[in-house]
Amino acid sequence: MGGRRRAYPTTEELRIWRDFIETAQALRTELAARLQKDSSLSPGDYATLLALSEADGGRLRPSALARTLDWERSRLSHQLGRMERRGLVRRVECATDSRGAEVVLTDEGARAFRAAALPHLLAIRELFVAALAPEQIAALGDAVRALRAGPGARRDD
């Protein structure tokens, strides 16, 4: 068997994988609950408002917003409908292309995002950052970059 890797994960690798998935889900669940309690925003609302707040003029084409959020267009459409009814965003005709539309962050949406940001960032600090030593954060950053790069980019030192 020499230097060949196993075709399937070891028991320890599977344990770590499961711990990773369960912990990430527990963190997402707790952050979502706190976001909802603190600001009445869902994680989808917050992600949409964040993307629009970072965009030039607080506006994006729906296709660009879907790419930014890594969402299917149908999911985005439903999300935007809910947010429009609450006055957080509006859809307007695109100024540069009369066939298209843009999603625009409203004043109410900008206020809601600003009000939610600090409590959300404090919750991230409490639940994630404070639980790890600086070297663990750095190691986790390295691991996330390796996962995003994919198996072809892996280096064994």
**Residue range 110-147, pLDDT digits in tens:** 999 999 999 999 999 999 999 999 999 999 999 999 99
Residue 28 lies in a domain: yes
Q: What is the pTM of this model?
A: 0.85
In a domain, 10, yes or no: no
Confirm whether 93 is domain-assigned: yes
CATH of the domain at 68: 1.10.10.10
Work out whether the CA dihedral 30, 32, 35, 39 comes out positive or negative.
Answer: negative
Query: Residue 1 domain-assigned?
Result: no
Residue 153 falls inside a structural domain: no
Judge whether 157 lies within some domain.
Answer: no
Burial of 57 (0-12, 13-18, 19+ CB in 10 A): exposed
Query: Is residue 7, in this structure, part of any structural domain at all?
Result: no
Question: What is the identity of the amino acid at 25?
Answer: Q
Conformational region of residue 57, where left means phi above 0, alpha means psi within -120 to 50, and beta covers everything else? left
In contact, 80 and 48? CB cutoff 8 Å: yes
**Looking at the 3D structure of the chain, how many domains does it have?**
1
Domain of residue 115 covers 16-148
In the block, tokens 């663990």 appear at 136
Condensed to tens digits (0 to 9), the pLDDT of residues 63-110 reads: 999 999 999 999 999 999 999 999 999 999 887 776 789 999 999 999
Do the domain assignments include residue 97? yes
